C-alpha cells in the first residue's frame, strides 16, 4: 500500500521548462484581486414515483401538478423531467412539454435495424442515468434463502434492465467485498451471481445461537421450578416466587444482545461504505439490499422473552442501549444526500414461527413463544422498511416469490418524475426535509420520494468522488485529465518512490487575468489501494497557477503538468485521482494502475 505521500501530504516538483508557476498551498487558495470565494450552486433533483389506486404508474403529470416543499416552505420547480415506458421504448418530457418524445427514436424502414437499436444503450442524460447496485449481505443471510432470491434476481436483471443501465455487485462476507464494479456486461454479471450461490452464508449461525439460548433459558427455568424440589415447596408455602434462573437468563441475554449489536454495527458500517462509494456516481442510484432482515433493536425478542419469564429480572427500558434506529436513520439520510434509493428484500419470505412447537413452549405461558417470534420478525423487518420509505424506494417483505415486487421496482426505474430546484443561498451542509405533494391526488394513489437531502461541501464531493473512482471505477473526466507513472526507484527501506505525472489540457482550465499574468487554482486529490484492499484516505494538495501574459499564446495547445512522488510498497496498486478547477467549477475523477517494483531502478 502507500506508505507515504511526500511533504506530509504530497511531494511535488516542477517540470523543467514548464512555463507556469505552480505552488503548493498549506491551507486555503489565494485571495485578493482576481480571486473570489465562489458559491457552488447545484440543482437538487428529487425523483418522484406516482402510482394510482391500482398500483400502476401514473403518467402524464406536469410540473404544475406538483408542489415541492423544502423545510416546510414551498419552492419553485426549476427543472422538470418525466420518463415513461411504452412498449419497451422510453419516452421523455422536459419542462412544460405536453407530448412525450422517444428518448431514442428508431427508423421504421428496416425492422432489423429497429431491433438492433433497441438493444443498444439509449442516450440518457447523465443526471438521469440509472446505476443499480446489488448488495447481497451474506453475513445476514442463510444460503437457502439467498439462492432462492438470487434465481429471481438473475431473471430480473436479464429481462427488465435495459442496455444503458449500469449494474454493480457487492457482498458482505462479512467484510464488504466489491465483486464487480459498474458494468452493462450482463453475461459477466450473470456468471458472478451464479458463482455467488456457492459462497457460504452466515445467518444460520446466529439463528442457531438464538434457538439454543431460548432453549437453555427454558431448561434452567423448568429445572429451577420443579415442584418436587424441597426449596420450591418451601417457597410456595411461604407465598414466595419460584424459579432461580433469573440471573442466568439476564447474563445470557446481555451477552447475546451485545454480540448482535456489534454485528449489526458492522453491517451498518458496510452499508454506509456502499452508499458513500455511490456518492459520485452520476444520475439516479438504486441500492438493492438482500438480507434475512437486520435488527432495529439488538436482542429485542429475547428481552421480552426474559421479561415475561422473570418479571423483575430485567427492565425493558434497558433495551434503549441496544436500539440502533438512529444509525439506520443516519444511513438513510446519507443515501438521500447521494440520491440513492433503497430497495430492500427480506429473503426469508413468509416465516414460520420457529418456537411454536410443543418443545419450544414455556410452561405456564401459553402462546408466549409465538409472540416472541412475531416480535423478532417485526424487529428484523423494521430497518428494511425504514431505509426504503425514507429514500423513496420499496421494501419487499413476507413474499416467497419476489418477482412480482421486482416488477414494481422495474416500474420505478422506467416511470418517474424528476423535480429540480435551485437553493437560493449557500448551504452549511445541514439536512433539509423534503415534501412532494400531488395537488389533485385521488383517493388510493401514492407519491414516493426521498424525504430529505444534505447539500455537500466541495471537499466532501471531492473525497467521495475520489473514493468512487478508486473503489468502483466510476470515472468522469470532462477536463481530459491524464495520469501516468514513471519508473519507480527502490529505497533503502525496501519501499519504492513512484513518480506520478498529472496532465490537464490548458484549454480546459479557467484562468483569470490579473497583474500581468493569468491565474488559476486547482485541487488535486489522491488515494491508493493495494492488492489486499488496503486503501489510504484521499489527501489534498491545493495549487495555484500563474502564466505570464507574454507566454499565454505558447500554452494554448499544450497541457498543464504536475508531478507527485508517492512512497509505495511493492505490488500492484490502484490510484484514485480527483482534480478540481476551482475557478471554472469543474472536476474530474479517474483511476489508474501502478505495478510497483517491476524493473525498478536502484
Tell me the pLDDT band of 95, cut-offs 50, 70 and 90.
confident
Tell me what pLDDT residue 114 has.
54
Spatial CA neighbour of 27 closest among 520, 523, 502: 523
Contacts for 91 with CB less than 8 Å, ≥ 6 apart: 83, 84, 85, 100, 101, 102, 103
Q: Do 565 and 502 contact (CB within 8 A), yes or no?
A: no
- Give me the CATH number covering residue 488: 2.60.40.10
**What pLDDT is stored for residue 60 in this prediction?**
92
pLDDT tens sequence across 572-581: 999 999 999 9
Instruction: Work out how many domains the chain is built from and give that number.
Output: 1
- Specify if 515 maps to a domain: yes
pLDDT of residue 319: 93
pLDDT at residue 40 is higher than 60: no
pLDDT of 8 > 50? The answer is: no
H helices then E strands: how many in the chain? 12, 28
- What's the domain range around 544? 2-40+458-596
Q: Is 492 a domain residue?
A: yes
233 occurs within a structural domain: no
Query: Do the domain assignments include residue 158?
Result: no
Q: What is the pLDDT of residue 20?
A: 40
Q: Is position 431 within any domain?
A: no
438-457 mean pLDDT: 91
pTM of the entire predicted model: 0.81
Would the pLDDT of 362 be above 70?
Answer: no
Cβ atoms within 10 A of the Cβ of 398, count? 12
Task: Kindly tell me if the per-residue pLDDT of 18 is higher than 50.
Answer: no
Bond from prior residue into 174 cis (ω within 30 degrees of 0) = yes
Tens of pLDDT, residue by residue over 499-557, are 999 999 999 999 999 989 999 999 999 999 988 888 899 999 999 999 998 888 888 88
Residue 71 maps to a domain:
no
- Is residue 5 classed exposed, middle or buried when 0-12, 13-18 and 19+ CB atoms within 10 A define those classes? buried
> For residue 563, is it within any domain?
yes
C-alpha cell, 329: 436513520
Residue with cell 433503497: 342
- Within-domain flag for 589: yes
Give the cell for residue 426: 449557500
- Give percent above pLDDT 70 in the chain: 82
Phi, psi of 518 (to 5 degrees): -105, 125
Burial class (CB in 10 A: 0-12, 13-18, 19+), 310: buried
- Predicted local confidence at residue 271, as pLDDT: 95
Looking at residue 427, what is its pLDDT?
61
Whether pLDDT at 237 is above 70: no
Amino acid at each position: 500500500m502507500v506508505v507515504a505521500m511526500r511533504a506530509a501530504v504530497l511531494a511535488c516538483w516542477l517540470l523543467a521548462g514548464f512555463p507556469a508557476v505552480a505552488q503548493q498551498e498549506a491551507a486555503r487558495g489565494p485571495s485578493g484581486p482576481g480571486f473570489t470565494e465562489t458559491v457552488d450552486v447545484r440543482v437538487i433533483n428529487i425523483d418522484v414515483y406516482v402510482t394510482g389506486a391500482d398500483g400502476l404508474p401514473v403518467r402524464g403529470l406536469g410540473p404544475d401538478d406538483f408542489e415541492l416543499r423544502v423545510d416546510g416552505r414551498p419552492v419553485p420547480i426549476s427543472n422538470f423531467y418525466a420518463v415513461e415506458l411504452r412498449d419497451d421504448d422510453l419516452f421523455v418530457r422536459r419542462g412544460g412539454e405536453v407530448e412525450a418524445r422517444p428518448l431514442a427514436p428508431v427508423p421504421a424502414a428496416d425492422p432489423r435495424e429497429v431491433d438492433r437499436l433497441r438493444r443498444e444503450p439509449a442516450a440518457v442524460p447523465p443526471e438521469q442515468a440509472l446505476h443499480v447496485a446489488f448488495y447481497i449481505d451474506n453475513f445476514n443471510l442463510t444460503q437457502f434463502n439467498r439462492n432462492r432470491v438470487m434465481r429471481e434476481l438473475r431473471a430480473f436483471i436479464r429481462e427488465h434492465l435495459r442496455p444503458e443501465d449500469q449494474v454493480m455487485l457487492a457482498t458482505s462476507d462479512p467484510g464488504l467485498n466489491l465483486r464487480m464494479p459498474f458494468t452493462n456486461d450482463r453475461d459477466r454479471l450473470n456468471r458472478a451471481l451464479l458463482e455467488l450461490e456457492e459462497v457460504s452464508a452466515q445467518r444460520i449461525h446466529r439463528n442457531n445461537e438464538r434457538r439454543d439460548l431460548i432453549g437453555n433459558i427454558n431448561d434452567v427455568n423448568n429445572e429451577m421450578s420443579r415442584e418436587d424440589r424441597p426449596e420450591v415447596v418451601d417457597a410456595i408455602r411461604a407465598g414466595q416466587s419460584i424459579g432461580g434462573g433469573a440471573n442466568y437468563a439476564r447474563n445470557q441475554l446481555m451477552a447475546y444482545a451485545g454480540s448482535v449489536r456489534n454485528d449489526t454495527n458492522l453491517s451498518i458500517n458496510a452499508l454506509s461504505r456502499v452508499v458513500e462509494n455511490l456518492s459520485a456516481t452520476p444520475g439516479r442510484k438504486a441500492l438493492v439490499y438482500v438480507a434475512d432482515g437486520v435488527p432495529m433493536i439488538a436482542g429485542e425478542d429475547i428481552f421480552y422473552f426474559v421479561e415475561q419469564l422473570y418479571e423483575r429480572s430485567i427492565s425493558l427500558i434497558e433495551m434503549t442501549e441496544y436500539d440502533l434506529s438512529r444509525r439506520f436513520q443516519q444511513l438513510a439520510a446519507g443515501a438521500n444526500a447521494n440520491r440513492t434509493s433503497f430497495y430492500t428484500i427480506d429473503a426469508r419470505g413468509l416465516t414460520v414461527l420457529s418456537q411454536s412447537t410443543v418443545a419450544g413452549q414455556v410452561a405456564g405461558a401459553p402462546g408466549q413463544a409465538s409472540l416472541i417470534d412475531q416480535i423478532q420478525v417485526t424487529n428484523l423487518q423494521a430497518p428494511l422498511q425504514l431505509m426504503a420509505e425514507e429514500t423513496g424506494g420499496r421494501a419487499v417483505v413476507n413474499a416467497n416469490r419476489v418477482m412480482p415486487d421486482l416488477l414494481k421496482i422495474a416500474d420505478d426505474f422506467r416511470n418517474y418524475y424528476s423535480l429540480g430546484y435551485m437553493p437560493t443561498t449557500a448551504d452549511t451542509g445541514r439536512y433539509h426535509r423534503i415534501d412532494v405533494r400531488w395537488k389533485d391526488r385521488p383517493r388510493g394513489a401514492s407519491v414516493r420520494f426521498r424525504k430529505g437531502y444534505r447539500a455537500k461541501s466541495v471537499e466532501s464531493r471531492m473525497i467521495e468522488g475520489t473514493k468512487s473512482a478508486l473503489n468502483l471505477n466510476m470515472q468522469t473526466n470532462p477536463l481530459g485529465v491524464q495520469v501516468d507513472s514513471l519508473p519507480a526507484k527502490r529505497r533503502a527501506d525496501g519501499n519504492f518512490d513512484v513518480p506520478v505525472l498529472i496532465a490537464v489540457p490548458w484549454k480546459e482550465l479557467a484562468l483569470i487575468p490579473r497583474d500581468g499574468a493569468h491565474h488559476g487554482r486547482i485541487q488535486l486529490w489522491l488515494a491508493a489501494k493495494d492488492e489486499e484492499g488496503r486503501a489510504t484516505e484521499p489527501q489534498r494538495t491545493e495549487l495555484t497557477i500563474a502564466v505570464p501574459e507574454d507566454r499565454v499564446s505558447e500554452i494554448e495547445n499544450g497541457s498543464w503538468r504536475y508531478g507527485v512522488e508517492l512512497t509505495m510498497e511493492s505490488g500492484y496498486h490502484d490510484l484514485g485521482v480527483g482534480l478540481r478547477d476551482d475557478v471554472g467549477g469543474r472536476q474530474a475523477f479517474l483511476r489508474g494502475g501502478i505495478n510497483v517494483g517491476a524493473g525498478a531502478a536502484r
